[in-house]
Amino acid sequence: MINLGLMSRASLPWWKQTTVYQIYPRSFADDNGDGIGDLAGVIARLDYLKWLGIETIWISPFFKSPQADFGYAISDHFEVAPEYGSLEDCRRLIDAVHAHGMKIVLDMVLNHTSNQHPWFLESKQSRHSPRRDFYIWRDGRKPHGAAPPNNWKSMLGGSGWHYDPATEQWYWASFLPFQPDLNYRNPQVKQAMLDMVRHWLRQGADGLRLDIFNAIHKDAGFADNPFSFRPIPSEHNPDGFFQRAVNTQNHPDTLAFARELRAVVDEFQHPPRFLVGEVFGPTSVLREYCGPLGEGLNLVFLFKSLSAKFTAPGFRDLMQEFETAFPEPLHPTYVFGNHDRPRSIERLGNDRARARLLAAFQLTVRGVPFVYYGDELGLPHHEGMALHSALDPVAARYRFLPKFLLPTLRKRGILVNRDECRSPMPWHGGAHAGFAPPGAPSPWLPLHPQSAILHVEGQRQDPDSLLACYRRMLLLRRASPALSGGSLQLCEPLGDPR
Ligand code: GLC
């Protein structure tokens, strides 16, 4: 691979040249000593991220929520959940990030709300509620809850329709039953959500990450999904559970909405902001979210990297595919882990030498790298957590799965118990590994057993550590216009090492 310095840093927008670090706020740093990470904890650790050489942080949702899916089911988009702090803490966080010369990406869950959101509570009250149409309600094919409106499956399998006996109708949820989908065909809903987006941009968000964006619009006529032989969906093919997801995911109206949302974000120019979409589908479809000239979402996660072969030819194929689909003015992303996926080092056989190679690859290839908290320490996957006692609602849904299937699924990038990749961040070798102050109750999830040796403080002192390697690569990337803003040309391999 050659990364050519044909462009200067000034010629590309900042968000194409940046490096993003994902913080799962519940697991990053607990400042108030309740065992749960919080915004004040993040503020206290910004010096660390600055030292590491990170330019942008993305923080998973911290808005008011019953926490049934830890922030991804929101009951008030304008409030901070009390366990994470207050609006004042949020203000302080945004200001502190900017004072550090860094940028901040907030997580927008536009597709659904919590079933405890006042809109849903009102919508559910009666068929005539003024907010009824804020969500997707339909009559069943048979009366009294005997058959749902059509054959649509949720992203997790099983019908995505849920019956409400009081009003004798079904509501639609693309993900879990307590996450009812908003109805974007209702102009009031669209307007309210776009205004919410504007609100957070006005508060100083530099970018927005869009949760399951590919589910926003479904077929307006509610036609059944056609049959497919595929049992399990993957990041590059949402068909699964024996149907093609044509009427429930990647709908043409969602692609149009991407452009509408981009126009809203472009209302804010000082500095320019960006959108990064969580979308699932073949690379060719993901590209459509960005639009041929980059007039849609600025970036999309390219999750194919999560199941790519971690070998030299595997990386080459990945680069080739992403470069072909995302030439300038489009821009690829490189993601090797997040709060839903197996830790990347697990895919490398827990080999720390290979973890360095992964860092070197991710931080030098053309594209925006998204680094998941703890990956810079080589924090391993927390295997063997029992499904039946998991806090993750996805694990609860699959608790009947035979244990022997889990490692195979993990190898394919599918994580059934997401608690396993959300271990508290180990900061030092003392009480609670420094995640929470001494005297705090146990962290909300157990520390990884290796926290005592892999913590930040220890690795900071060791120039040969994985952390030191990440830091050197990040500094190199920042110092080199070719790495952060260059173009890329692939050479023909000398021999095929397959
Ligand atoms: C996204 C989030 C995941 C969440 C789901 C529903 O995939 O990354 O954590 O559970 O959407 O909001």
The verdict on the CB of residue 340 being under 6 Å from ligand 1 is: yes
The verdict on the CB of residue 69 being under 6 Å from ligand 1 is: yes
Question: How confident is the prediction for the chain on average, in pLDDT?
Answer: 95
The yes-or-no verdict on residue 497 having pLDDT over 60 is no
Give me ligand 1 centre to Cα 54, in Å.
24
Q: Are 206 and 104 in contact (CB under 8 A)?
A: yes
Q: What is the DSSP letter of 180?
A: P
Give me ligand 1 centre to Cα 485, in Å.
31
pLDDT digit string, tens, across residues 326-361: 999 999 999 999 999 999 998 899 999 999 999 999
The yes-or-no verdict on residue 46 having pLDDT over 80 is yes
The verdict on the CB of residue 72 being under 6 Å from ligand 1 is: yes
pLDDT digit string, tens, across residues 66-87: 999 999 999 999 999 999 999 9
- In this prediction, residues 46-57 reach a mean pLDDT of 98
> With b meaning 16 or more CB within 10 Å and e meaning fewer, what string describes 33-69?
eebbbbbbbbbebbeebeebbbbbbbbbbbbbbebbb
The verdict on the CB of residue 212 being under 6 Å from ligand 1 is: yes
Q: Which two tokens stand for residue 9?
A: 């840093």
Closest residue (by CA) to atom 5 of ligand 1? Answer: 72
The verdict on the CB of residue 419 being under 6 Å from ligand 1 is: no
Alpha-helical (H) ranges within 154-234 are: 187-202
* Predicted local distance difference test score (pLDDT) of residue 361: 96
Per-residue pLDDT band for 399 (boundaries 50, 70, 90) equals confident
C-alpha 114, offset from chain centre: 18
Closest residue (by CA) to atom 7 of ligand 1? Answer: 212
Q: What is the pTM for the complete model shown?
A: 0.97
Give me ligand 1 centre to Cα 70, in Å.
9
Q: Are 241 and 155 in contact (CB under 8 A)?
A: no
pLDDT digit string, tens, across residues 355-385: 999 999 999 999 999 999 999 999 999 988 8
pLDDT digit string, tens, across residues 167-213: 999 999 999 999 999 999 999 999 999 999 999 999 999 999 999 99
Give me ligand 1 centre to Cα 142, in Å.
32
The verdict on the CB of residue 109 being under 6 Å from ligand 1 is: yes
Residue 470 amino acid letter? Y
Q: Are 460 and 428 in contact (CB under 8 A)?
A: no
For helices 252-265 and 187-202, the axis angle rounded to 10 degrees is 40
Query: Of ligand 1's atoms, which has the minimum distance to the CA of residue 418?
Result: 9
Residue 453 amino acid letter? I
* Predicted local distance difference test score (pLDDT) of residue 2: 61
**DSSP SS3 for 113:** coil
Q: Which two tokens stand for residue 120?
A: 């849903």
The verdict on the CB of residue 219 being under 6 Å from ligand 1 is: no
Closest residue (by CA) to atom 12 of ligand 1? Answer: 72
- The residues annotated as belonging to the active site are 211, 267
The residue to mutate among 175, 280, 392, having the most atoms of ligand 1 within 8 angstroms of its beta carbon, is 175
